[in-house]
Amino acid sequence: AQSVTQLGSHVSVSEGALVLLRCNYSSSVPPYLFWYVQYPNQGLQLLLKYTSAATLVKGINDFEAEFKKSETSFHLTKPSAHMSDAAEYFCAVSDGINDYKLSFGAGTTVTVRA
């Protein structure tokens, strides 16, 4: 069965510092991996998606993620945090076996300190 684990339920960074959010997946087949962001009182917005075309995936708002098969990881990074990056971030996996179903991680709350 597919699943993801997000390490760290809460991350606090200073404005301008690196943002690193960790996601490890479990899947019996090559997965499709997603990062979504949810700002307060809003729906989920896709940041980026891995579909095996390239291991380094660039997304919106300067976010990127690297797929590492050997480590079963898909960590999300942003070089310089902005105050507007404060939000909930979800990693999700779809493995091609369970159509329609995204398995979400528990989420990581990011706070940005001025």
Partner 1 sequence: DTEVTQTPKHLVMGMTNKKSLKCEQHMGHRAMYWYKQKAKKPPELMFVYSYEKLSINESVPSRFSPECPNSSLLNLHLHALQPEDSALYLCASSQAGGGAGETQYFGPGTRLLVL
Q: Which residues bind partner 1 (CB under 8 A)?
A: 32, 34, 36, 41-46, 49, 51, 88, 90, 94-102, 104-107, 109
Q: How far is CA 63 from CA 1, 2, 18, 25, 38, in A?
A: 28, 24, 11, 19, 14
Burial class (CB in 10 A: 0-12, 13-18, 19+), 101: exposed
Q: How far is the CB of 7 from partner 1 (least distance, A)?
A: 15
Q: Which is nearer to partner 1, 60 or 83 (CB)?
A: 60
In the complex, the smallest distance separating the C-beta of residue 32 from partner 1, rounded to whole angstroms, is 4
Residue number with CB closer to partner 1 (25 or 34): 34
